[in-house]
Amino acid sequence: MVHTVGRGGIWEKVPRCFPTMPHDPDPPPAKKFKPGSVFFRLEKNKPGMLLPRKGNVTTPIDVQRKQLPIYQAKPRLLNELRRLHNAIVIGETGSGKTTQIPQYLFEAGIGRQGLIAITQPRRVAAISLAGRVAEEKRTQLGKLVGYTVRFEDVTSPETKLKFMTDGMLLREAIGDPLLLRYTVVILDEAHERTVHTDVLFGVVKTAQRRRRELNKIPLKVIVMSATMDVDLFSEYFNKSPVLYLEGRQHPIQIYYTKQPQSDYLQAALVSVFQIHQVVFDI
Ligand SMILES: Nc1ncnc2c1ncn2[C@@H]1O[C@H](COP(=O)(O)OP(=O)(O)OP(=O)(O)O)[C@@H](O)[C@H]1O
Ligand SMILES: [Mg+2]
């Protein structure tokens, strides 16, 4: 798909990501774009991974992990998550919730008796995040870190961190309503409220209660989102505490389009290309 925009583009201003960006009130027209060819390469052995082209990579992955806003909160977060059976975690997008919290739990030995499941509403997110976390743990995808989406199961007996779609965990719950393989279930992107997610909330809550009644290994349930009605979720999960993570990885400014946009996908694509063109032209 090729998108071009005329001079001026659709935005009032192009977001100024870097302080050195020239003060041009109108963004230049976006160049024609060949998908997959410009700034990124597809990693064949790691499905879903879009890695920056060689040459753009400067920061080692361990350092990248430590630069995430969540890293500052790690000791306090782990203290809380160790003792709580239910928790709601809220943090800015990109702060490191999805990629870091499962690793922190695993590294701290929390939930080691079973698997840590991290659910995603979309399969592409489950695949991509598993790839990223496997890379951060320097392990082959499908070993310590794996994923399960419909028609694809990249896990093994070694797998401890399992990214999966809501639908797949729901399917597993049909055969095992107590979810006994899992010691921690992280319900990510909870604000999206898909049918699967909503049903899953009920399933994990019941599994947690039944396991307590039957004296089985407890199930920890963590609900995560960048933005959601926390009171509603907290109330539902036995008045669970809400942990707020502070900090953003990048400065964020909001700009408004001159005209209403009927096609959000195209508008988003055009903006991405405009931003990249401005950033890489300077
Ligand atoms: N698939 C990926 N490939 C490369 N880098 C990634 C990938 N996924 C995440 N990252 C990096 O890890 C950082 C933290 O991402 P993470 O998904 O953990 O944030 P988050 O707090 O869950 O955000 P959100 O609320 O948007 O889900 C990102 O800012 C990005 O730098
Ligand atoms: Mg996330």
Check residue 151 and give its pLDDT. 94
Q: 74 CB contacts (<8 Å, ≥6 apart)?
A: 100, 104
More confident residue, 197 or 50: 197
Q: Which two three-digit tokens encode residue 269?
A: 């694509």
Per-residue model confidence as pLDDT tens digits over 255-268? 888 888 899 899 99
Q: What is the pLDDT of residue 153?
A: 97
CA of 225 to the centre of ligand 2 (A): 7
Residue nearest to atom 29 of ligand 1 (CA): 94
Q: With bands split at pLDDT 50, 70 and 90, how would you rate the model's confidence at 202?
A: very high
pLDDT confidence of residue 282: 54
pLDDT at residue 252 is higher than 50: yes
The model's confidence at residue 33, banded by pLDDT at 50, 70 and 90, is very low
Pocket test for ligand 1, best of 120, 128, 132 (most atoms within 8 A of CB): 132
Question: What percent of the chain has pLDDT above 90?
Answer: 59
Task: Please answer whether residues 210 and 239 qualify as being in contact, where contact means their C-beta atoms are separated by less than 8 angstroms.
Answer: no
Which residue is closest in CA terms to ligand 1's atom 18?
Answer: 96
Q: Is 95 in the pocket of ligand 1 (CB under 6 A)?
A: yes
Return the pLDDT at 170. Answer: 96
Taking each helix axis from N to C end, the angle separating 97-107 and 123-136, rounded to the nearest 10 degrees, works out to 50
Tell me what percent of the residues of the chain surpass a pLDDT of 70. Answer: 78
Who wins on pLDDT, 173 or 36?
A: 173
Q: Which ligand has the shortest distance to the CA of 103? A: 1
**SS3 sequence of 105-170:** HHHCCCCCCCEEEEEECCHHHHHHHHHHHHHHCCCCCCCCEEEEECCEEECCCCCCEEEEEHHHHH
Q: Which atom of ligand 1 is nearest to the CA of 48?
A: 1
120 in contact with ligand 1, CB cutoff 6 A = no
| Interacting residues of 244 by C-beta distance below 8 A, sequence separation 6+ | 90, 91
Residue 105, CA distances (Å) to 7, 65, 70, 109, 164 in order: 49, 15, 13, 6, 17
- Cα 247 to Cα 68: distance, rounded to the nearest angstrom: 9
Look at 5-19, 42-56, 141-155 and tell me which has the smallest mean pLDDT.
5-19
Do 102 and 81 meet the contact criterion of CB atoms below 8 Å apart? no
When the pLDDT of each residue in the chain is averaged and rounded to a whole number, the result is 82
Ligand 2 geometric centre to CA of 199 (Å): 20
Question: How far is the centre of ligand 2, averaged over its atoms, from the C-alpha of 120 (Å)?
Answer: 9
Place of tokens 């890293």: 71
Residue 91 alpha carbon, nearest atom of ligand 1? 21
Kindly state if the Cβ of 98 falls inside 6 Å of ligand 1: yes
Residues 150-159 have a mean pLDDT of: 96
Q: What is the mean pLDDT of residues 121-134?
A: 97
Task: Give the pLDDT confidence of 97-110 residue by residue, as tens digits.
Answer: 999 999 999 999 99
Lowest-confidence range among 24-33, 143-152, 172-181, 236-245?
A: 24-33
- The ligand that comes nearest to the alpha carbon of residue 129 is 1
CA atoms within 13 A on the CB side of 87: 21
Residues with CB under 5 A from ligand 2 (ion): 97-98
**97 CB within 6 A, ligand 1:** yes
Q: Which of the pair, 128 or 245, is modelled with greater confidence?
A: 128
What's the whole-model pTM score? 0.77
Q: Which residue has the higher pLDDT, 199 or 22?
A: 199
